[in-house]
Amino acid sequence: MKFSHDFIAFACDKGVLRFGEFKTKAGRLSPYFFNAGLFDDGASLARLCEFYAEAITAADIPHDMLFGPAYKGIPLAAGTAMTLAGRGHNLPFCFNRKEAKDHGEGGTLIGAELKGRVLILDDVISAGTSIRESVDIIRAAGATPAGVVIALDRQERGQSELSAVQEVEKSYGIPVIAVATLADLIGYLGDHAELERNLAAVTRYRESYGVA
């Protein structure tokens, strides 16, 4: 989709997506690195949330509210809720804190009450820990996880022949929507001569570790 292509361009321009040699948590040497924490100013966060809103709209998954797992999901849920509201789709949102408070409003949840069908917004899925915790929180509140939205799907095997994204989809029976995927990145590299030197390395990496 065009917004996926535009997102890759945006991530490269911002330095969020870098090329070289990077060691992953799995101990693999990856020819690219994606660090969503570098969307670190108002303009880039606003643009990022526009891409999330585009992906959510295009996926057309029925949902009633947004949930942002601490910590990276918090600005994503808030910012995307604002973006969608600006497009006439006003949704409640909620996020969690890591430690429960025993004063004030107390508890671990902040924002709207978790109810109905809930979209979880996060940056990436690595081990899937954040998503598992989010699903447990949502179900404990009596609500229903509707899906997960992430920025980039690396489309590579995890501990099994499935990717972390596929593991989440299989375990919880919910879709994972990615603004962009490794396939989108490879397509983008092939279209840009100044980046094409990275194409062979990224393609080899996909051949070694990729999933369908």
Marked catalytic residue, from 23, 101, 170, 192: 101
The SS3 of residue 119 is strand
Angle at which helices 182-191 and 2-14 cross, to 10°: 80
* Amino acid at the residue 188: Y
The yes-or-no answer on residue 101 being catalytic is: yes
Which of 124, 150, 187, 133 is CA-nearest to residue 59?
150
Alpha-carbon torsion angle 117, 123, 125, 129, nearest 10: -70
Q: Which amino acid is at 204?
A: R
| Catalytic residue chosen out of the listed positions 2, 25, 98, 103 | 103
Instruction: For tokens 């107390």, name the residue.
Output: 106
Please state the separation of Cα 158 from the chain's center in Å: 17
Q: Catalytic site residue 192? A: no
Contact 188, 195 (CB under 8 A): yes
Show which residues are catalytic: 101, 103
